[in-house]
A = this chain, B = another copy of it.
Amino acid sequence: MINKLVAEIKKKDAPIVVGLDPMLSYLPGFILDAAFDSYGETLEGASEAIWQFNKGLIDAVCDLVPAVKPQVAMYEQFGVPGMEAFRKTCEYASEKGLVVIGDIKRGDIGSTSEAYAIGHVGHIKVGSRTYAPFTEDFVTVNPYLGSDGVNPFIKVCRQEKKGIFVLVKTSNPSSGEFQDRLTGGSAKEESDRMPLYEVVANKVALWGRDHMGDDYSYIGAVVGATYPEMGKTLRRLMPRNYILVPGYGAQGGKGEDLKPFFNEDGLGAIVNSSRGIICAWQKAPYKESFGPFAYADAARQAVLDMREDLKQAYVR
């Protein structure tokens, strides 16, 4: 799957992943009305609306971008029907040829981490039959529990030729509270000390070396667009690991700031935008030209504009 991701990024000249993180307030009224007419103001109704919204978005951008990234929390908040909308979204995006990155940020230990991996990127055995419960190609993984938490994901990904992105340095303002803590080294050798995110990055590089695609590893990292200086260091520490970059657009990152995340081959990073694309219809400069009924066209235009903006970040 990393090979497909890289190939699609090259082919479409778009290191872009569209974040499918729907809130009901992002949805045009006509979609909500239709879903509530059929299912009432219920969890089922909300989930149907989200699914229809996503379907329109996927149809509108699937020829432009290599990947989508549904954020499972936005579905989980609608309970079991929401998880069904998540499942259908992942499945439909795959059918449309997109790489699906499940933003699930799971992380546990041993058989529990393996259960998450099986559920999202693997297959589960029930009696004499096997099923793929959710069908992402990649998932995001939280590293706080150490190798015991990550290795079960790697094990399943090896079998399935799928991959993970490990949280290294997240895009949020308080990510430094724990991730930036200087660690390690002896007290006398200040230079040996490094922030925790670098310790995690070194692990990601190590895990990734044993699980390589053609040019890049199946094991990637998440590094926020909001920290370009750190991105530079992390790019160097993880030369063959793809970096998934959140925080572009709504969270403040710009195309020109993203140079540090790319390698000299013009590859190595894929930039997420969620609200900037899926809510484009609600905001300038798209609001005037695209009304709610053209929300998907607005998203398409936002992707085209993002693609142009990102060209400042890499040369290929």
A87 at the interface (CB under 8 A from B): yes
Is there an interface contact between A174 and B147, defined as CB atoms closer than 8 Å?
yes
Among the stretches A39-47, A208-216, A232-240, A255-263, the one at the interface with B is: A39-47
A13 at the interface (CB under 8 A from B): no
Q: Which listed residue (B106, B131, B200) contacts A79, Cβ 8 A?
A: B131
Q: What is the chain B residue whose CB lies nearest that of A43?
A: B131
With known contacts A146-B174, A174-B147, A181-B184, A77–B196 Cβ distance under 8 A? no
Could you give 25 example pairs across A and B, Cβ below 8 Å?
Answer: A23-B111, A41-B127, A43-B124, A43-B126, A43-B131, A43-B133, A46-B126, A71-B108, A73-B115, A74-B115, A77-B119, A77-B124, A105-B108, A105-B142, A142-B142, A146-B174, A146-B179, A148-B173, A149-B172, A181-B183, A181-B184, A182-B184, A183-B196, A187-B189, A196-B196
Q: Name A126-167 residues within 8 Å CB distance of B.
A: 126-129, 131, 133-134, 142-149, 167
A: contact size bracket: 35 or more
- Distance in Å from the Cβ of A124 to the closest Cβ of chain B? 5
A176 at the interface (CB under 8 A from B): yes
Q: Which listed residue (B83, B120, B146) contacts A177, Cβ 8 A?
A: B146
A78 at the interface (CB under 8 A from B): yes
Q: Which listed residue (B113, B128, B184) contacts A73, Cβ 8 A?
A: B113
- Distance in Å from the Cβ of A4 to the closest Cβ of chain B? 24
In whole angstroms, how far apart are the Cα atoms of A7 and B256 in the complex?
A: 57
A118 at the interface (CB under 8 A from B): yes
CB neighbours (8 Å) of A143 from chain B are 144, 178
Is there an interface contact between A172 and B188, defined as CB atoms closer than 8 Å?
no
Q: What is the chain B residue whose CB lies nearest that of A189?
A: B187
Is there an interface contact between A187 and B176, defined as CB atoms closer than 8 Å?
no
A193 at the interface (CB under 8 A from B): yes
CB neighbours (8 Å) of A116 from chain B are 73, 76-77
Q: A23-58 interface mask toward B, CB cutoff 8 Å, 1 = contact, 0 = none? A: 110000000100010000111011000000000000
A110 at the interface (CB under 8 A from B): yes
With known contacts A43-B131, A131-B43, A173-B148, A80–B80 Cβ distance under 8 A? yes
Q: Name A67-110 residues within 8 Å CB distance of B.
A: 71, 73-74, 76-80, 82-84, 87, 105-110
Is there an interface contact between A144 and B178, defined as CB atoms closer than 8 Å?
yes
With known contacts A74-B115, A112-B21, A133-B78, A178–B190 Cβ distance under 8 A? no
